[in-house]
Structure 1
Amino acid sequence: MEQEQLYPLKFEPIYQYRVWGGRRLNSLLEKPLPKNEPVGEAWILSDRADHSSKITNGKLKGKSINWLFEHTPKQLLGKLQGGFNRFPLLLKFLDCQDVLSVQVHPSDALKDYIPEGESGKTEAWVVLETGKGASIYAGLKSGTTNTKIKADLEKHQVADDLASFKPKVGDSILIEAGTVHTLGDVVVFEVQQNSDVTYRLYDWDRVDAKTGKLRELQVQQALACIDFSKVELKPVITTVKANEPVLRELVIDNKHFSMSRITGEYPFMVGNEAAPRVLVCLEGGGEVESGNEFYHLAKGEVMLLPAISGACPFVPDGNVTLLELCLPEV
């Protein structure tokens, strides 16, 4: 039998050391960063065996997101119950102080390149902060071939094959599986399929300060996973769904996830009675009203609205910017 009724749930971020990380997540998240090391990622909603997000509010404080799947699947998932054995999305903030490796993720179709228990990996970014050297590499330059990439790898010039642009705050970019990509000197929000399969093509001959060694590359696997039709990618053009009482924009909509951005200062509705939704607060804050209780959401926090909560009013403290994410249909 399922437990007491679920409610809007908040989670503690999980920080990750990355050689390319920085300290800028300090200004976004309340939890202090680990001292004296670069932090590249904050996993704000993660259901993985090695990193399972813990609830920080209410009677279920300390329970993991995986616990919810085991004990309250119907309340959590609604019509999506039975479609997943774990939460299908992984949500992060990234502080890319230095440029990441040039990398690619496999699509779901490339079974030979996906370890057991994993999936392909399509992801999307929303740019939150940019530095003077901010750059996003997304896709190849038109006409780039496998032969040319191999030759440029030998010469340590693979960056010449990548399409790039200078991002600005608010830009959103869809990185479908098979897209060669990297980014640097930016802070972004990332939503992705719940997968940790990454193949590094090139890492700028960088030495990891923790190990004193070059990081491992997976050149052959990366080359096999590249979709050479993914070229010259640019920020997505959002679709305005409503202007009153707040601005609602559809940012990304694909078979893996849907993401909307809500901006304004007046109360509005979030959530859905049929399936769970996830809120991520990028600016401002406010309260979700559910079951005659109020649940505060601040900048940098994530909130999981279980299906049982249904549609809920959100009352901003002032001007607020939220992302609302929907899970894939099954």
Structure 2
Amino acid sequence: MDNTQLYPLKFEPIYQYRIWGGRRLNNLLDKPLPPHDPIGEAWILSDRDDHPSKVTNGKLKGKTITELFALSPEKMMGKHSAKFKRFPLLLKFLDCQQVLSVQVHPSDGLKKYIPKGENGKTEAWVVLETGRDAKIYAGLKPGTTKQSLKAALDKNEVADDLASFKPKVGDSVLIEAGTVHTLGDVVVFEVQENSDVTYRLYDWDRIDEKTGKPRDLQVPEALACIDFDKVDIGPVIPVVKSNEPVLRELVIENEHFCLWRLTGEYPFMVGKDKTPRVLVCIDGEGEVEYNSELYHLAKGEVMLLPATTGACPFVPIGEVILLELALPEM
């Protein structure tokens, strides 16, 4: 019998070197960045074999999410426990100091291009900070074909075929699998399917200083995974669900995840019975109340509410902006 007592769980961020990264995650997270290297990603909730997130609070401190999932799948996942063998979402903060490679992720149906144990990758971004040269490329320009894109690749003119816009703080963008995309000079929160399958189409002819070589491209695979109907992608228009006691906006809803943004200074409810929820604080701070105990959540921190915690009050300390993530209803 599993006697594990779960509670609102916080996790340590996992920093990742990236050629295009910077140092701006210092402004968002308390954990110091590794010295010198450009840090492009902080994995804030990861159930990956190579980088599992570790609990930082309470009696389960030091346990990984992978261990908890194996020990208490029903308590962690509730009604979703039979469907998933690991936590199905991967959450990150990205510091895109330079523009990323032009890339595409396969859809779940393209089994030929998905390694064993992986799946496709739909993702979404919420813009947290922008620089002077901030730009998001999302989708192709209308009328782009495989032939015209190949010709642009041959001439190093891929950017001419990409739809783009200048983002502002608060913008949200849905990047469905098959969408050609990249972004630069922004800090964003990212939620995605728990997958690490990326095919690079173009990398701006740059050299990785650590290796002295260009990074590998996967042009044939990328071309095979592109959905040429995904064109001219812009920011999502959030849907306001309520104004009291908190502004509750539905930002993204698809078959992989749902994302709400909650803004306010008065207590409100988070979580839901028999299903896990994830909270990400992107501004301010507050406390989750569970079993007569308070669990503090500050800017840049993530908290997993296991299915057994159900709905809980959240008490802001001043104004707070939370992202709340859920799996689609079954």
> For 1:89-113, what per-residue CA distance to the aligned partner results, in whole angstroms no more than 9, with x for missing partners?
0000000000000000000010000
1:21-36 equivalences in 2 (<5 Å): 21-36=21-36
**1:287 equivalenced with 2:287 (yes/no):** yes
Measure, in 2, the Cα distance between the counterparts of 1:321 and 1:199.
33
1:150 aligned onto 2:170: no
Q: Structure 2: how far apart are the matches of 1:329 and 1:40? A: 33
Q: Which of structure 1's runs of 4+ aligned residues deviate more than 2 A?
A: none
Q: Which residue of 1 aligns with 2:97?
A: 97
Deviations 1:103-136 (A, max 9, x none): 0000001000000000000000000000000000
Give 1:1-330 correspondences, 5 Å limit: 1-329=1-329
Distance 1:225 1:126 in 2: 24
Give the AA of the match of 1:108: D
Mean Cα displacement is larger for which, 77-86 or 233-242?
Answer: 77-86
CA contact (8 A) 1:80 1:329 kept: no
For 2:163 and 2:80, the matched residues in 1 are separated by: 38
CA distance in 2, matches of 1:145, 1:257: 30
Residue 328 of structure 1: CA displacement? 3.6
CA contact (8 A) 1:138 1:181 kept: yes
Alpha-carbon distance, 1:329 to partner: 4.4
- Equivalent residue letter for 1:262: L
Q: Secondary structure at the match of 2:314?
A: strand
* Counterpart secondary structure, 2:278: strand
Residues 255 and 329, structure 1, Cα contact 8 Å, conserved in 2? no
Give how far 1:3 is off: 2.6
Query: What per-residue deviation string (whole Å, max 9, x for no partner) do you get for residues 119-176 of structure 1?
Result: 0000000000000000000000000000001001000000000000000000000000
How many aligned positions are there? 330
Structure 1 CA distance for aligned equivalents of residues 6 and 328 of structure 2:
21
Query: Unaligned stretches of 5+ in structure 2?
Result: none
Answer whether contact 1:270 1:311 (CA < 8 A) is retained: yes
Task: State TM-score, norm by structure 2.
Answer: 0.99
Distance in 1 between the 2:149 and 2:43 partners?
Answer: 32
Classify the secondary structure of the residue corresponding to 1:213: coil
Among all aligned residue pairs of Structure 1 and Structure 2, give the percentage whose two residues are the same amino acid: 75
Q: Take 2:254 and 2:101, find their aligned partners in 1: how far apart are those partners?
A: 26
Q: Is the Cα–Cα contact under 8 Å of residues 123 and 193 in structure 1 kept in the other structure?
A: yes
TM-score (norm 1): 0.99
Deviations 1:224-255 (A, max 9, x none): 00000100000001000000011000000000
- Matched position secondary structure for 1:207: coil
Question: Is contact 1:135–1:167 with CA below 8 Å preserved after alignment?
Answer: yes
2:120 is paired with a residue whose SS is coil
1:5/1:308 contact within 8 Å kept: no
